[in-house]
C-alpha cells in the first residue's frame, strides 16, 4: 500500500510540474489570454474607425454638402462673393 501511495504522489507531483512549469503551462495561458484581450480591444477600435470611414464615404457619395464641408474645413476654400472671417485667439504672456 505504501508503494501505491508513493506512486500516486509521484504522479501527482509530475502532473503539477507540467501544469505550472511545462509546455503550455498556466502562466503561458495567462499571457495568451492577456494578448487576446488586447487584440480584441484593438479590433474593436479598428471596427469603430472603419464604421466612421464608411459613414464618411456614404456622405461623400450621396451629397454635395459633405464635399463642401470638407473643402471648407480641410482646404480653406470659400465660394465666390463670400466673405471669410478668421478669428484668431489672443495669447497673453504670463508676465503681463
Q: How confident is the model at residue 93, as a pLDDT?
A: 66
Closest by Cα among 74, 48, 70 to 59: 70
This model's pTM is above 0.75 = no
pLDDT in tens, 77-93: 888 888 878 788 888 76
Domain ranges, ordered by start, for the chain: 2-75
Q: What is the C-alpha radius of gyration for the chain, rounded to an integer number of angstroms?
A: 32
Block mean pLDDT (10 aa), the chain, length 96: 89 82 80 95 97 89 82 82 83 66
Could you tell me the end-to-end alpha-carbon distance of the chain, in angstroms, rounded to an integer?
93
Q: How confident is the model at residue 52, as a pLDDT?
A: 94
Amino acid at each position: 500500500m505504501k508503494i501505491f501511495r508513493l506512486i500516486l504522489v509521484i504522479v501527482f507531483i509530475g502532473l503539477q510540474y507540467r501544469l505550472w512549469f511545462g509546455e503550455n503551462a498556466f502562466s503561458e495561458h495567462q499571457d495568451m489570454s492577456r494578448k487576446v484581450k488586447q487584440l480584441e480591444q484593438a479590433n474593436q477600435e479598428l471596427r469603430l474607425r472603419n464604421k466612421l470611414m464608411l459613414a464618411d464615404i456614404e456622405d461623400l457619395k450621396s451629397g454635395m454638402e459633405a464635399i463642401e464641408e470638407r473643402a471648407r474645413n480641410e482646404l480653406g476654400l470659400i465660394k465666390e462673393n463670400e466673405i471669410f472671417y478668421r478669428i484668431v485667439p489672443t495669447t497673453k504672456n504670463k508676465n503681463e
